[in-house]
Structure formats: C-alpha cells, structure tokens
C-alpha cells in the first residue's frame, strides 16, 4: 500500500472540499471517452488549487524571459514543476534552446532532517520516496513533452541528477562551471540541505534571477525559513514576494 501524502493532514480544505476532490478524481478515472478526447479534456478535472499552482509557476516563469540562465528544480519529487516549465519554455520562448532544466532529488525520500527539527509524520527522513525506477520514467516524460511541443526535434534540454544535493550540487558546479541560473525552485524542507543549496545557488544566480520556495511560510515546516534567514535575509540585497494565486509559493528576486 502506498504511503499517505501530507495533503491528507496538512490542508486548509474542509471535509466537504476533500470529499469533492475525491469525487472529481474518481470521475476522472471513470471518464468514458476516446483517448484523444480524454487527453483534450483534462481541464475538466484540474481542481482550483492545482490550477493556482500552475498559474503561480507561469507568473514566475514570465519574470525570467529576458534573463539568461538555466532552471533548477531542487527537491523535484515527481517533477511536475519541471514539466510545467518545459511546456512554458515551448510556449513563451520556443527558440531558446539554452534554457536548460536541471532536476535534483534523491528519489528515495527526504534526507537531512535533524532530530531537533520540527517535523510532521511526513516531514522526516525517507518519506516521499518514488522508487528506484522513477528517474527513468520522469526522463521519458520530459522528452515526450519536448517532442510534442514546438521545435520538438530539438529535445534533451534537461538533466535529472539523482542523489543528495549536498553532494550533487557541488559536483554539478565543478563539472559545469559555466552555468548561470535564472530560476531555482527549492522544496527540500530540511534546514541543512536547503541552506547548503541556497549558498551554492546564490552566487550562480544572475541579477534579477529568482529563488522560489514552496515551504518558506509554512508553520509546521521550519527549515526553509531558517535557511533563508541565515543565508539571505540580512546578507544580500533582494526583494521578496508571495505569489497572488498560490500564497504558499514565495519567491526572492536577487538584486
């Protein structure tokens, strides 16, 4: 049996909303339509909170259109943010073949939580594992999205990097000293990996580049906020904003 997801407990939805969400998902599973019709009808089943998340990613993506640099997805989990960014790249800048996307994750669950960090049942080491074979599936999905988009013959503009980011990020910057970063997403939750990632990414981020955090203001998950306070808050000039459509996503503009 699959592990429960944190949204079963960490949610602002009431019981009616959760029941309705489950019914929508059940209707999607049972939807009677030809495959090509079903693929074109997925908007019937995208609930508002997921749509808000996609809109927030879109808003942030639009801010980097005039910036050089790659996109980092640090703690990518199942890779949804990166897939959305690939499709946004194809929509807004189909000829920008240099907008590479790098995905970082252990894919075996969280690592780096210390005993003194406040965590829930789901915010602890080894939760959120997606299985050993998931990076291969995610790589296939990204390539298929690229091929289905404009200029799809030019694909492979991404790289999935498996492992603990405390080790893989330093190696990445050693192997690719030329890479600049326009946008980074952080979803590591644990303090130490987040702080190490911020410190490494900041110097490679271009002026007006963006660091986006999924958990910066969550009251039950403290790691991102403390890492931000120690690494950025009173050390570097920056602006900080929340996304209007998805207030859980906070982003920082480097100045």
Q: Is residue 219's pLDDT more than 90?
A: no
Q: From residue 176, how far is each of 78, 104, 183, 193, 235 by CA, in Å?
A: 24, 15, 17, 20, 26
Six-digit token pair at 145?
Answer: 């999205």
Instruction: State both tokens at 234.
Output: 């009173």
Structure-block tokens of residue 18: 């959760």
Residue partners of 135: CB distance under 8 A and separation at least 6: 107, 160, 162
2 or 112, which is more confident: 112
Report the chain's mean pLDDT, rounded to a whole number.
93
Among candidate residues 85, 134, 70, 76, the one with its CA nearest the CA of residue 105: 76
123 in Cβ contact with 224 (< 8 Å): no
User: pLDDT tens-digit profile of 221-244?
Assistant: 899 999 999 999 999 999 999 999
pLDDT at 3 over 60: no
pLDDT higher than 50, residue 1? no
Name the one residue in this structure whose structure tokens are 């894919």: 107
Summarize the confidence of residues 142-170 as an average pLDDT.
96
Percentage with pLDDT > 90 across the chain: 83
Is it the case that residue 5 has pLDDT exceeding 80? no
For the stretch 246-255, pLDDT in tens is: 999 999 999 9
Q: How confident is the model at residue 187 (pLDDT cuts 50, 70, 90)?
A: very high
pTM (2 d.p.): 0.93
Please, which pLDDT band fits residue 128 given cuts at 50, 70 and 90? confident
Torsion of CA 171, 174, 176, 180, to 10 degrees: 100
As a whole number of Å, the CA-based R_g of the chain is 18
pLDDT at 127: 82
**Three-class secondary structure of residue 188 per DSSP:** coil
Most confident of 150-154, 201-205, 217-221: 201-205
Q: What is the pLDDT of residues 16-47, one digit of tens each?
A: 988 999 999 999 999 999 999 999 999 999 99
pLDDT at 162 over 50: yes
> What residues does each domain of the chain span?
14-45, 47-254
Q: Would you say residue 121 has pLDDT above 90?
A: no
Mean pLDDT of 122-132: 81
Comparing CA positions, the residue from 232, 183, 224, 172 lying closest to residue 205 is 183
| Interval 167-179 mean pLDDT | 98
Fold of 47-254: Rossmann fold (3.40.50)
Q: pLDDT tens for residues 47-92? A: 999 999 999 999 999 999 999 999 999 999 999 999 999 999 999 9
CB atoms within 10 A of CB 114: 11
- Count CB neighbours of 246 within 10 A: 20
Is pLDDT at 111 greater than 90 in this prediction? no
Residue 63 makes CB contacts below 8 A (sequence gap 6+) with: 208, 210, 253
């Amino acid at each position: 049996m699959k592990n429960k997801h944190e949204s079963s407990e960490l949610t602002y939805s009431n019981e009616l909303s959760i029941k309705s969400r489950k019914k929508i998902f059940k209707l999607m599973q049972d939807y009677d339509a030809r495959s090509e019709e079903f693929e074109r009808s997925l908007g019937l089943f995208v609930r508002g909170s997921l749509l808000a998340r996609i809109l927030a990613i879109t808003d942030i993506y639009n801010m980097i259109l005039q910036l050089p640099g790659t996109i980092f997805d640090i703690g990518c989990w199942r890779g949804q943010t990166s897939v959305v960014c690939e499709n946004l790249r194809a929509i807004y800048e189909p000829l920008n073949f240099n907008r590479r996307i790098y995905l970082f994750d252990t894919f075996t669950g969280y690592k780096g939580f210390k005993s003194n960090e406040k965590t829930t049942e789901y915010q602890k080491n080894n939760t959120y594992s997606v299985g050993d074979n998931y990076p291969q599936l995610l790589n296939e999905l990204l390539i298929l999205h690229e091929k289905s988009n404009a200029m799809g013959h030019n694909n492979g503009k991404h790289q999935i990097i498996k492992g603990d980011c405390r080790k893989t990020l330093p190696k990445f910057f050693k192997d690719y000293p030329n890479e600049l970063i326009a946008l980074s997403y952080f979803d590591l939750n644990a303090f130490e990996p987040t702080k190490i990632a911020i410190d490494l990414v900041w110097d490679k981020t271009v002026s007006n580049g963006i660091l986006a955090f999924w958990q910066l203001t969550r009251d039950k998950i403290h790691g991102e906020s403390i890492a931000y306070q120690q690494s950025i808050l009173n050390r570097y000039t920056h602006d900080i904003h929340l996304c209007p459509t998805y207030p859980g996503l906070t982003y920082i503009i480097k100045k």
